[in-house]
């Protein structure tokens, strides 16, 4: 079976790769049934020369491959009929801009396996870039602080060769005594965020202590859903009920906003759940947060100050609490917002290694047929010229309704 690592065709191109050069070699070593071809590219974080140095073959003949692997959506004019593709299709939530892409894949009899839909038997995602979103987003939180208040300057993460260089930059971080950071979310993204806080040597405190304690050193706390949501009827918070009927709850985040200087959202937010920060909250006389590094980056809600996504080249903007609108980032009265929505792209080499390790060890071997948990079957959106039964819910979307 021949695997092809395709050139990223989306504009602007993504520098990440599904497999690094050494991972390609390891796959073929562990599974001699596989050959791997590399489509030449001048944009990858691992240049063609690094693949060639590992003895891998560069080839434009992706039509000779059985399975094609990329990162972002493949342009419709570059799709090859009757192939199996792995990439992030961004179609499972009925994203309007990719409806034609899904239709084209069905028309071309393509088997589409989306990384986002690769799950274990409990429904947990197997592979994602979330950890590096958390790592870079947390780094950017301190970059935002340093730039807004002029106390230090960190090199942008995308200008660092790798994470090692980025971590070295963190030595420049200087925070006031008693500076307080609140984090929401404890999944892959939250875990990545905590890695950076640990690198900085910051002290973690319990949620209750964060609210009432006085500290001589910078501290952080990690909130869970029951810490910043409460039942509308005043009853005790019930986590199971929250996930089944979040409309029965309301936000209780303001008490944290009155104590924190920086907020780093790493949560997954369900649209049925309460807003976390509404415009009126920012006008509270005790509202204290000055920096929000919104890694979750849901536009407009649940965090009112996330007015738009920002870019790697221009990651910051200001939020004016009085007008509820974007304003000068450096103005004393504005809140500094970081809302880059493609954070792992800032450290593409490290993010690719992390991603490729799981892909090569847990997913690629399944292509040889020993998929007893039907992981690939569950992740296949279309096959044999139609949607698969699991994704029949996309039919109206596919038809333009």
Q: What is the pLDDT of residues 227-260, one digit of tens each?
A: 999 999 999 999 999 999 999 999 999 999 999 9
CATH of domain 2-127+348-398: 3.40.50.720
Per DSSP, helices labelled H in 229-310 are 239-244, 254-257, 279-282
Under the banding of pLDDT at 50, 70 and 90, the label for residue 115 is very high
Per-residue pLDDT, 385: 98
Residue 272 has pLDDT above 90, yes or no: no
Q: Percentages helix, strand, coil for the chain, rounded to the nearest 5?
A: 35, 15, 45
Report how far residue 14's alpha carbon sits from residue 348's, in angstroms, rounded to the nearest whole number.
9
User: CA 225 → CA 24, 35, 147, 303, 392, distances in Å?
Assistant: 40, 46, 31, 15, 32
What are 144-147's contacts with CB under 8 Å, separation 24+? 144/291, 144/293, 144/315, 144/316, 144/336, 144/337, 144/338, 145/175, 145/262, 145/291, 145/336, 146/172, 146/173, 147/316, 147/329, 147/336
Structure confidence by residue, pLDDT tens digits, 174-200: 999 999 999 999 899 999 999 999 999
Q: What is the DSSP-derived secondary structure letter of residue 83?
A: -
Pairing of strands 291-293, 335-338: parallel
378: phi then psi, degrees, rounded to nearest 5: -65, -30
Under the banding of pLDDT at 50, 70 and 90, the label for residue 11 is confident
Per-residue pLDDT, 392: 97
Is 102 exposed, middle or buried (CB count within 10 Å of its CB: 0-12, 13-18, 19+)? buried
Is 73 exposed, middle or buried (CB count within 10 Å of its CB: 0-12, 13-18, 19+)? buried
The number of residues in the chain equals 401
Residue 287 has pLDDT above 90, yes or no: yes
Residue 401 has pLDDT above 80, yes or no: no
pLDDT, mean of residues 269-284: 93
In degrees, rounded to 5, the angle at the alpha carbon of residue 132 between the alpha carbons of residues 182 and 345 is: 120
Residue 12 has pLDDT above 90, yes or no: no
Per-residue pLDDT, 400: 85
Q: Give the residue with greater pLDDT, 59 vs 400.
A: 59
**Domain 130-346 listed as CATH 3.90.1150.10:** no
Report how far residue 202's alpha carbon sits from residue 210's, in angstroms, rounded to the nearest whole number.
13
Pairing of strands 203-204, 229-231: unpaired
Question: What does 149-160 look like in DSSP terms, one character per residue?
Answer: HTS--PPPGGGS
pLDDT, mean of residues 135-160: 98
Report how far residue 393's alpha carbon sits from residue 382's, in angstroms, rounded to the nearest whole number.
12
- Taking alpha carbons only, the member of 346, 395, 368, 391 closest to residue 134 is 346
pLDDT, mean of residues 357-361: 98
User: CA 239 → CA 45, 65, 327, distances in Å?
Assistant: 42, 47, 38
Per DSSP, the three-state class of 91 is coil
Per-residue pLDDT, 389: 98
Per-residue pLDDT, 7: 97
Structure confidence by residue, pLDDT tens digits, 33-61: 999 999 999 999 999 999 999 999 999 99
Q: Which residues, 6+ apart, have CB-to-CB distance to 43 below 8 Å?
A: 7, 8, 13, 15
Per-residue pLDDT, 84: 99
Percent of the chain at pLDDT > 90 equals 96
Query: Residue 284's CB: how many other CB atoms inside 10 A?
Result: 12
Is 362 exposed, middle or buried (CB count within 10 Å of its CB: 0-12, 13-18, 19+)? middle
pLDDT, mean of residues 361-381: 97
Per-residue pLDDT, 271: 80
Per DSSP, helices labelled H in 63-185 are 99-107, 130-149, 163-169
Q: Give the range among 139-153, 166-180, 293-307, 381-395 with minimum mean pLDDT.
A: 293-307
- Taking alpha carbons only, the member of 321, 315, 211, 308 closest to residue 277 is 321
Domain with CATH 3.40.50.720 in the chain: 2-127+348-398, 130-346
Q: 3-state SS string over 316-383?
A: EEEEECCCCEEECCCCCCCEEEECECCHHHHCHHHHHHHHHHHHHHHHHHHHHCCCCCCHHHHHEEEE
Structure confidence by residue, pLDDT tens digits, 55-111: 999 999 999 999 999 999 999 999 999 999 999 999 998 998 999 999 999 999 999
**Mean pLDDT, rounded, of the chain:** 96
Residue 95 and residue 397 in contact, taking contact as beta carbons nearer than 8 Å: no
Per-residue pLDDT, 233: 94
Per-residue pLDDT, 269: 86
Residue 26 and residue 360 in contact, taking contact as beta carbons nearer than 8 Å: yes
């Amino acid at each position: 079976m021949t695997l092809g690592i395709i050139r990223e065709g989306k504009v602007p191109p993504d520098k990440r790769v599904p497999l690094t050069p050494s991972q390609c070699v390891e796959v073929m070593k562990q599974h001699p049934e596989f050959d791997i071809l590399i489509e030449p590219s001048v944009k990858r974080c691992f240049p063609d020369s690094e693949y060639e140095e590992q003895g891998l073959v560069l080839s434009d003949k992706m039509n000779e491959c059985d399975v094609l692997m990329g990162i972002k959506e493949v342009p419709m004019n570059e799709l090859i009929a009757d192939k199996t593709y792995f990439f992030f299709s961004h179609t499972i939530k009925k994203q309007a801009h990719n409806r034609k892409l899904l239709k084209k894949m069905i028309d071309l009899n393509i088997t589409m396996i989306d990384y986002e839909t690769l799950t274990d038997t409990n429904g947990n995602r197997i592979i994602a870039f979330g950890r590096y979103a958390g790592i870079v987003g947390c780094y950017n939180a301190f970059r935002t602080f340093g730039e807004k208040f002029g106390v230090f300057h960190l090199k942008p993460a995308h200008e660092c060769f790798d994470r090692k260089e980025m971590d070295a930059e963190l030595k420049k971080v200087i925070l006031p005594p008693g500076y307080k950071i609140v984090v929401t979310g404890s999944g892959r993204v939250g875990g990545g965020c905590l890695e950076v806080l640990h690198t900085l040597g910051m002290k973690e405190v319990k949620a209750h202590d964060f609210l009432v304690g006085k500290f001589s050193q910078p501290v952080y706390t990690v909130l869970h859903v029951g810490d910043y949501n409460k039942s509308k009827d005043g009853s005790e918070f019930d986590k199971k009920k929250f996930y089944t009927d979040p409309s029965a709850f309301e936000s209780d985040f303001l008490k944290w906003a009155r104590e924190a200087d920086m907020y780093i959202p790493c949560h997954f937010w369900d649209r049925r759940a309460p807003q976390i920060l509404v415009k009126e909250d920012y006008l509270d006389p005790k509202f204290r947060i000055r920096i929000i590094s919104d890694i979750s980056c849901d536009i407009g809600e649940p965090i009112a100050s996330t007015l738009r996504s920002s870019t790697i080249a221009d990651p910051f903007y200001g939020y004016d609490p009085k007008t509820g609108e974007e304003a000068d980032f450096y103005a004393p009265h504005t809140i500094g917002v970081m809302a880059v929505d493609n954070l792992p792209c800032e450290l593409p080499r490290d993010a690719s290694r992390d991603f490729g390790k799981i892909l090569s060890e847990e997913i690629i071997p399944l292509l040889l047929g020993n998929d007893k948990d039907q992981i690939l079957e569950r992740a296949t959106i279309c096959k044999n010229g139609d949607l698969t039964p699991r994704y029949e819910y996309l039919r109206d979307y596919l038809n333009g309704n």
